[in-house]
Amino acid sequence: MRLYQNGKYAYVVGDLLPNSDGWTVRYHLYRVDTQSLEIKYIGIFAAIHFDENGFKAATTRLTNPDANTSADRLYAIRNNFYDNEGVLIRRGESEYYYDDMIIEYSDSLVNADGYRPNS
């Protein structure tokens, strides 16, 4: 689990630690209002990058649904952009592939601090 706080909201990122092509839905994102403790589910993503204006998150689309095995599946990736309240403000116009996602989001895929319950 990873945590990112921006103003009155804390974002909690659950990591499924998937096998095979589960990387396409690896991160589940929740927004927690730190004043009311209200929780809002934001979505499922392949990667997330937070900044002072909100965050961008990578979603995937299977490009060859007729593939016989998961090893043969190919996915296109698109960035979606959200404001500080977790509201989608725009979808990226272009798609790209996995290697480019690693370059754009880094090897960690999420730039939030790790959750350390014993710290």
Which residue segment(s) compose the domain that 59 sits in?
A: 2-110
Within a domain: 85: yes
Distance CA 27, CA 18 (A): 10
> What pairs with residue 31 in β-bridges?
11, 40
Residue 4 in contact with residue 14, Cβ under 8 Å? no
Within a domain: 48: yes
Within a domain: 117: no
pLDDT at residue 6, rounded to an integer: 87
The reported pTM is 0.90
Within a domain: 119: no
Within a domain: 31: yes
Within a domain: 116: no
Within a domain: 118: no
Structural domains in the chain (count): 1
Reported confidence tier of residue 71, pLDDT bands at 50, 70, 90: very high
Distance CA 65, CA 113 (A): 35
pLDDT at 82 exceeding the cut of 70: yes
Within a domain: 64: yes
pLDDT at residue 115, rounded to an integer: 46
